[in-house]
Amino acid sequence: MPKPEIHPKWYPEAKVICNGEVVMTTGSTQPELHVDVWSGNHPFFTGTQKILDTEGRVDRFMKKYGMSSTDESDKDNTSK
């Protein structure tokens, strides 16, 4: 048993709310938990993925610093 008056109140049936909908219940020190992401809509668990970056990191770096792409030099070497 926890010592009296030093622990927060425990809610064994706390509601987890995502986008205004109760998605699960769990134990918590808060009666309601409002979350943006949970296992039901997270890409890791759903298998879907949003591509936010259409340009690769290396391509962005090369473009930002004005470096020539290695693809052009590879094309020159393979044609010889």
Q: What is the pLDDT of residue 77?
A: 55
Amino acid at the residue 4? P
pLDDT one-digit tens code per residue, 26-75: 999 999 999 988 888 877 777 776 655 556 777 778 888 887 655 555 55
Sorting pLDDT into bands at 50, 70 and 90, what band is 2?
low
With a cut of 70, say whether residue 76 has pLDDT above it. Answer: no
With a cut of 90, say whether residue 13 has pLDDT above it. Answer: yes
Cβ-contact 40, 48 below 8 angstroms: no
Can you tell me the mean pLDDT for 7-21?
92
Neighbours of 59 (CB within 10 A): 12
Q: List the domain boundaries for the chain.
A: 11-79
Amino acid at the residue 38? W
